[in-house]
Amino acid sequence: MTSFDLHTRRRNEFVEITDDVRRVIRASGARQGICVVYCPHTTAAITVNENADPDVVHDMLLWFERTVPHVQAGFRHGEGNSDSHIKASLVGPSVTLLIDNGDLVLGRWQGVYFCEFDGPRTRTVHVQVVGP
């Protein structure tokens, strides 16, 4: 397993980590297999989505904020970040991706994103590569 840190700058933000994941795969020497990209934080997540048009990320963040606003009557969690936990659970802590010919198998417009819902913070991402 390989880990790397990243620094987020906003409370809610998507950081593209596709190149970081590719570096881990190249360093592993794997030609075929899978990799799991995992986030060990309860207020952040990992997803795959479009990386060609930044409006997609904007629209997703807008939807999350409208659907699960930061301040909501009735939330009881003492840290004041219940919305962050909900958003992270909706997206999920990991993705499993295919490796072929030593590279990620992604669609033309796809990228891998770290999803911050309680920043700014320093976060860790784990990548486990499985394959020859």
pLDDT tens digits, 95-132? 999 999 999 999 999 999 999 999 999 999 999 999 98
Sequence spans of domains, the chain: 2-130
Quick one: fold of 2-130?
A: Jelly Rolls (2.60.120)
Beta-strand pair 110-116/13-16: antiparallel
Cβ-Cβ contacts under 8 Å for 74 (sequence gap 6 or more): none
DSSP strand pairing (122-130 vs 103-104): unpaired
Mean pLDDT of 6-29: 98
Q: Which residue in 117, 14, 6, 119 sits closest to 67, CA to CA?
A: 117
Q: Output the six-digit token pair for 105.
A: 């198998």
pLDDT class of 76 with cuts at 50, 70, 90: confident
Over residues 43-48, the mean pLDDT reads 98
Using CA atoms, how far residue 117 sits from 27, 45, 75, 83, 122, in Å, is 30, 8, 16, 8, 12
Q: Would you say residue 88 has pLDDT above 80?
A: yes
